[in-house]
Amino acid sequence: MEEKKQLSRRGFLKTATLIGASLAAQPILSKAVKTQNILSDKSTTSASTNVITAQRTLGVGKAAMTVSALGFGVMGMNYNRSQSPDRKQCIKLLHEAVDRGVTLFDTAIVYGPLHNEELAGEALSPYKDKIAITTKFGHEVINGKTTGRQDSRPATIRQYCEDSLRRLKIDTIEMFYQHRFDPNTSIEEVAQTISELVKEGKIKRWGLCEVSAETIRRAHKAYPLTAIQSEYHFMHRDVENNGVLDTCKELGIGFIPYSPINRGFLSGCINEYTVFENNNDNRQTLPRFTPEAIRANTRIVNELQHFGRTRGMTATQVALAWLLQKEDWMVPIPGTTKLSHLEENLRALDFSYSAEEWRELENKIAAIPIVGSRYNAEQQKQVGH
């Protein structure tokens, strides 16, 4: 009965085409006078700002969620990316993103742990009626510290949901993802808890991160998924070949490419001498971020820069625009601590090139051997189930 209510994939594609056509008729970035700011500390910003208008729909039927075509990953503002600017600066930047039309903001319980959700809540809860803050459960966090274990038992999900709602200062979570698969709790049992939380109004939708195509099918059958969030960029294209993107397409599930700039590497701002902060940057634990790997993989950045040079694009914009043209049910979530980078990233929506031009770039990059795997052995064990 519920399933009948959902749009068929064909219906969804037709609708998406119509939306796409209407979007094509209007500029994706437009100069617009800012809407009245909700918060009083905004009076110093300029009256005219580039606002993104392109939107994308993740999921179908009752699972559907429409958000800005580019989202914002909040994680790196105070976790794992070395820099932690002053809290006020972070809040101001998040408001700048809202002003520029970004309506999807991504955080997780484990980021911080907890502090990232608190930051997102403080900055974004005043806008809760016009944006979506998504968060993730799964990693066990006890007394503010991670244990390295997974815990998606029903009572834990319920407890984590309550805690996230409190930290985010919202009444309902727009999308609650399972961050990593829990080998001790079946995905059907997780889906059951999710369906109850939806009924109770605590969450609106759910998603999964870094799971196999088989798990996506089982989960979606048990309770319709809105989106899958997995790593996807020029240096990590597994989802193209392991059935994940094919399954999303077939079932009408959205896709969120995370770390779309490969944790900053594809921007060209990282080199073999870059120092990562000891206690606040997981890049130093990743095989692709050793000085040797960085030196070798810089050839990939050179190709992005080469492609962008004659087209007026930075390497970051090439990386993001490539993802954006893949499918209209994909919404990358780059993170930044800088207004200049936010504006640069949003500008990636301005560029559109032929499939042939992109294929040529893909072929050049595919010919470059990538040095170092994306995760260390421990992190790798937690993905692909």
Ligand X SMILES: NC(=O)c1ccc[n+]([C@@H]2O[C@H](COP(=O)([O-])OP(=O)(O)OC[C@H]3O[C@@H](n4cnc5c(N)ncnc54)[C@H](OP(=O)(O)O)[C@@H]3O)[C@@H](O)[C@H]2O)c1
- Spatial neighbors of 281 by CB under 8 A, at least 6 apart, are 80, 81, 82
- How many residues interact with ligand X (rule CB under 6 A)? 29
Asked if residue 287 has a cis previous peptide bond (ω within 30° of 0), the answer is: no
Which of 196, 327 has the CB closer to ligand X? 327
Which of 181, 258 has the CB closer to ligand X? 258
260 near ligand X (CB under 6 A)? yes
For residue 236, what are the β-bridge partners?
A: 233
79, 111, 223, 375: which is the annotated catalytic residue? 111
At its nearest, how many Å lie between ligand X and the CB of residue 68? Answer: 15
CA angle 20, 22, 25 (to 5 degrees): 110
Which of 16, 75 has the CB closer to ligand X? 75
At its nearest, how many Å lie between ligand X and the CB of residue 269? Answer: 4
User: How far is Cα 344 from Cα 312, in angstroms, rounded to an integer?
Assistant: 12
Give yes or no for a contact between 330 and 257, defined as CB atoms under 8 angstroms apart: yes
Strand pairing class (29-33; 48-52): antiparallel
At its nearest, how many Å lie between ligand X and the CB of residue 159? Answer: 21
At its nearest, how many Å lie between ligand X and the CB of residue 38? Answer: 23
Binder among 50, 84, 259, 297 for ligand X (CB under 6 A): 259
At its nearest, how many Å lie between ligand X and the CB of residue 77? Answer: 8
User: How far is Cα 385 from Cα 349, in angstroms, rounded to an integer?
Assistant: 33
Amino acid letter at 202? K
Amino acid letter at 326? K
Which of 16, 320 has the CB closer to ligand X? 320
Looking at 87-230, list the stretches that DSSP marks H as alpha helix, in order from N- to C-terminal side: 87-99, 115-124, 154-168, 187-199, 213-222
User: How far is Cα 198 from Cα 42, in angstroms, rounded to an integer?
Assistant: 35
Strand pairing class (227-231; 206-209): parallel
Give yes or no for a contact between 289 and 219, defined as CB atoms under 8 angstroms apart: no
Binding range to ligand X, per CB under 6 A, among 158-166, 191-199, 256-264, 302-310: 256-264
267 near ligand X (CB under 6 A)? yes
301 near ligand X (CB under 6 A)? no
User: How far is Cα 133 from Cα 173, in angstroms, rounded to an integer?
Assistant: 7
Site string for ligand X, 32-71 (x = CB under 6 A): ----------------------------------------
Residue nearest to ligand X (CB): 73
CA-based nearest residue to 213, from 180, 239, 232: 239
111 is catalytic: yes
Binder among 328, 329, 344, 365 for ligand X (CB under 6 A): 344
Binder among 172, 242, 337, 373 for ligand X (CB under 6 A): 337
297 near ligand X (CB under 6 A)? no
User: How far is Cα 256 from Cα 179, in angstroms, rounded to an integer?
Assistant: 13
> Interface residues for ligand X in 100-119 (CB under 6 A)?
106
83 near ligand X (CB under 6 A)? yes
Contact set with ligand X (CB under 6 A): 73-76, 81, 83, 106, 209-210, 229, 258-264, 267, 269, 316, 333-338, 341, 344-345
Residue numbers annotated as active site? 111
